[in-house]
A and B are shown apart, each in its own frame.
Chain A
């Protein structure tokens, strides 16, 4: 609270961006966790709540006759334009928010004060909803080829990996440790997804420290072990998700990529996805387009193209499609890496898994997928989404892109996903909200040290309890689209990828379709269920009466 210079400012106006003539008059409050704007209209007293952790930038604009404008941009793409009558108040709000939006300690985050009135037992159950051991069991692991390794107990080998890792049975501790020394940040190849039907697998790692000529016998043995774990194929793909030029540049720093001559029976493949800095700038450019005031069609399409955003989405999808095809059609295992193996690798592995595995297209399965490929494998949520004050160059919309890939797939396969668009939007929101503990920190190790599970609540339980809101009415477990692999063309046409207005303009309701087919169909289905129950009751009654 010591950072709040002024807790309350009256006669503030909230400007409607689409109709700038319309502005709501109200009172602005700053609390320890939220910015709250309450409209003066006595009947409704409409409230707008913004979590401090959602604030991305705050811009104080030149004072005008009407007051001092303050522009707040949020990470969930909300844009708030306030006009504060007094320059002094505006300055105080500005200074307070700058500090509040950039907490320096985890303890300042909302999840440590958020209390949904659940008891201890309910909280613990919430954290148990998503269980990765169960997930590997569901895949059929451990089996004759794969086993659980305890080599990373107490994070001895790799501090950004989880403790429970699945590796080929033939990979001894010696091989693993040897391989880990030859990989960036010791992120050695481990199992991400196992395709039961043909034993092919998706494994992930970081780049090898190959430089121009270095080799590592254990690393070569590790890849061989992965190949042997799939008796159906005599080679594995190694997919480097970086542009070739970037990978080559890394060699000068003693890193790089696998030399096909040194590894027996690998097929090496580059699939160029740009790095986090390019993606950050791309999103920035696209958001500038979304912010344009009454743009022409040309402004919009030009801006969208110049941002490159959809091109990047397509690159991630292309990589996922390549891997899914290698696994399901060629029956070959794939090792995926980028530089550190926690951004592009996470994107690509999870897109490929989603294409291959119907379970990940269910509500519960999708939570498991994020838990597995993102949270447990050490995607740096804190750095990427700027939860704590840190290096702005580390921030990048990596998981946002994955979430968008899922939406693009939902547009192509409307019956394939158990969940709806709202589910994706709310997950994106909570990755930034810090209201739940799931996405805190940069690794499992840090989360355990912070005792996240004892001190905060799990988003997954929250979403699960409200699952009625997140259902896709077109989903049926026995529908052909919810079976097996989703087949996209190998090189999907450019026009398949569309601007996601439901996400990037989500707070501008005026731009969205005014009637929701999803909500309409959900209401019909709910009524259908009631009718089914009533019908059953009536049939019983009628039977009964006939007997009488």
Chain B
């Protein structure tokens, strides 16, 4: 399989967030990933350097000068800088001109649980410039509400929000987590997905799915980045079957998270809350699950 991904995300020396979270899993799925690192960070303390928009441009120029700026996918995640984000948009637009079939997978990282954790001025950039060029987006409920200006209180609301997001650009939308009540009880959260297709006769159809995802009592970092990378991989293998793509993606997440939480508790000891280093995703240990995930979550097709 010849498939080249340009991933523009954070790099950390230790642990699995950003490009560290995305690279290995995509590579075991035989997708060549070109990563452009942004910054390095740690836990209670973190130190490192940030790539500026100019430096990003310089790196991209190198690729372009060698005439190797041909990608099948672009993958982006957490950013804090508007000029950096705007440079990313320029790069994506140029890459789409070079390859009109390019798929831009965008995690519009803005915040969670009702509050933003990036500078507020990123919001109009995402809304007006980034999301319109995205093909696949993976917002959580808060981000989906922010981008559309509509609140989600019911499944019907969620469907409308996903349709609004389609109208903004992306044909594939996955709301990675929501507060909607799960049919399986309060140990589960609800995720939803929507994919718009054009039939051979030119008419439009939309496949919508819903998943009940087991909650885990811990704070993980890097799981959203892994999710976006895996959705890239599995929608690549199942471009018109969102149900299967989501089942595989959520199942990989489940296996990695289960392995991580077990290990973290072992390290922390009984009755103690694991620390951030102990909660680093057990990525390399999950290789087999990443390559061939046993399906543990079934998606329901909803209308």
Asked if chains A and B come from one complex, the reply is no
Measured CB to CB, the residues of A under 8 A from B are none
